[in-house]
Amino acid sequence: MASGTGADWVAIHGNAIVSDYLNPVNIEHTATGAVIRPKHNLTGTFHAAIPSAPNGSTKIKTLQILEDEELATISRIQIHYGKNRVYSQDITAQGLNIENLHMAAHYFPPKVQEGGIGHGFSVTATVSFEQRDSKITVWSLGVLFC
């Protein structure tokens, strides 16, 4: 936690991501992350569960995905809180930087009250591959709650 700011960075390691069932990708899990390649199509989707913020916040200020692209790009990001989609952004069309995506202006559910239970966040990323041997390597995925 950043001292004195009331904000919390929460992250997962890249090897914790999973493929989508309806729009799958091939994922090779390694000790350092996950290598994502196309499966059936030149687009595919993966998911990452984000732990709750230690400060109880449900407002995400920044999303950061540390990754390396080889003829592939993350083209769309969605964030779900429980069963509700609370954020959706076409990354490619907006020219946004996935390594520091700010979303402070977007609606998020109210803060979880002390003793309460939140619904959990999931980040969904759609990857566009240029060709069959394209890949993207994800080392970590984190969010800054405020």
How far is the C-alpha of 65 from the C-alpha of 26, rounded, in Å? Answer: 18
The answer, yes or no, to whether residue 22 has pLDDT greater than 70, is yes
Using alpha carbons, select from 140, 18, 124, 7 the residue that is nearest to residue 75.
124
How far is the C-alpha of 146 from the C-alpha of 55, rounded, in Å? Answer: 8
**Backbone phi, then psi, for 116, in 5-degree steps?**
-85, 170
The answer, yes or no, to whether residue 83 has pLDDT greater than 50, is yes
pLDDT given at position 3: 42
How far is the C-alpha of 67 from the C-alpha of 110, rounded, in Å? Answer: 31
pLDDT given at position 113: 60
Percent of the chain whose pLDDT exceeds 70: 77
**What mean pLDDT is predicted for residues 18-33?**
96
Q: Which domains are assigned to the chain?
A: 8-109+118-145 (2.60.120)
Percent of the chain whose pLDDT exceeds 90: 45
pLDDT given at position 109: 61
pLDDT given at position 132: 97
**What mean pLDDT is predicted for residues 26-45?**
96
Full-model pTM: 0.84
The answer, yes or no, to whether residue 41 has pLDDT greater than 60, is yes
pLDDT given at position 130: 96
* Dihedral angle, C-alpha 23, 26, 28, 29, nearest 10 °: 20
